[in-house]
Amino acid sequence: MGLIKETDERFIGIEKKIGLFVAAAVIGILVAVAAVGLQSDIFTSKTRIYLIADSGQGINEGTAVKLSGFKIGKVKRLYLDDAAKVKVELSIKTKYMRWIRTDSDARLIKEGFIGDSVIEITPGSAKAKDVREDGIIAFERTRGLGEIAAELKDELKPALSDIKQIVGYINDPQGDVRQTLKSLRIAAEGLPATKQRLDSLLADADKGVNTSAKKIDALLDSAKQTINSVDGLAKKVDKDIPAILERANKSVENIQKTTEEIKKATEQAAPQIPSMIEKGNDIAEGAKEVVDSVKKTWPVRLFIKTPEEKTLEVDSYE
């Protein structure tokens, strides 16, 4: 087999092609490294701070660190110090350090009930000083579900015991509750009979009311008739009184005329007069008594006015 000629067209400029391929590969590797670095914040300025915890439970390398719910860093590493406390190193992006001050504190919380653990840092007040490199902030561990369940268990034990006693008291056949329910059942069974008796009593009462109403109506009708009779009688008496008074006045006038005639006759016949005068006086007195009696009767006296007293007029000599 013959040697390939150096002037073979397939190998012309091969050095440049290999150089371009290598350069592209290097650029790709650099871009990938840059992307990974940017994603992992390798090229971002960071500040190292610490927190001290009694236990490292729930805290791992890479655990997110958040401020007001926004990720600002992560746990870089954790280890035991000389006092057997867990010293946690936090890597915080420097641009967020202006909100972390000496009065800020960190808490280990769960994102939801079954979410990952997160270290949440609270913003400090404006009056507090900034936390510098390698500074330490306070740490507080929130209670987990197990701790909350244990606490609830201790608190619920007395309540469960009381509930058990109450249930036992209710289920006791000789207890007050069962006896009360039994009495209520007996009373409920007697309700239909009681209802029937009440219906009967109401029916009787209704009949009595109707009877009384009829009697009252009859009594009112009778009273109305009596009132009408009295009214008619009063009208009749009212109509007859003027005639009675007129006849009484005529009788008085006749008596007066008779008396005058007797007086004249007496003057003419003096010897026979005394006895006639006495008879006339007796007749006049009897007539007066009759008139007075009539005036005092109930219907008549209502229409007779009492005579007014008058003073005698005295002549003046002035």
pLDDT of residue 86: 92
CA–CA separation, 45 vs 34, rounded Å? 15
Q: Residue 188 above 60 pLDDT? A: yes
**Whole-structure pTM over 0.75, yes or no?**
no
Q: Residue 2 above 50 pLDDT? A: no
User: Please, which pLDDT band fits residue 89 given cuts at 50, 70 and 90?
Assistant: very high
Bigger pLDDT: 182 vs 52 = 52
Q: Which DSSP symbol is given to 119? A: E
Among left, alpha and beta (phi > 0; psi -120 to 50; other), residue 4 is beta
- 234, two tokens: 């009063």
User: Please, which pLDDT band fits residue 172 given cuts at 50, 70 and 90?
Assistant: confident
Q: Residue 22 above 70 pLDDT? A: yes
Q: Residue 312 above 50 pLDDT? A: no
Bigger pLDDT: 55 vs 252 = 55
pLDDT of residue 314: 47
By the 10 Å C-beta count (0-12 exposed, 13-18 middle, 19+ buried), 282 is classed as: exposed
Phi and psi, residue 282, nearest 5°: -60, -40
Q: Which DSSP symbol is given to 82? A: T
Q: Residue 306 above 90 pLDDT? A: no
16: number of Cβ within 10 Å: 9
For residues 281-299, give the mean pLDDT.
66
Average pLDDT for the chain? 77
pLDDT > 70 in the chain, percent:
74
pLDDT of residue 50: 93
pLDDT of residue 229: 77
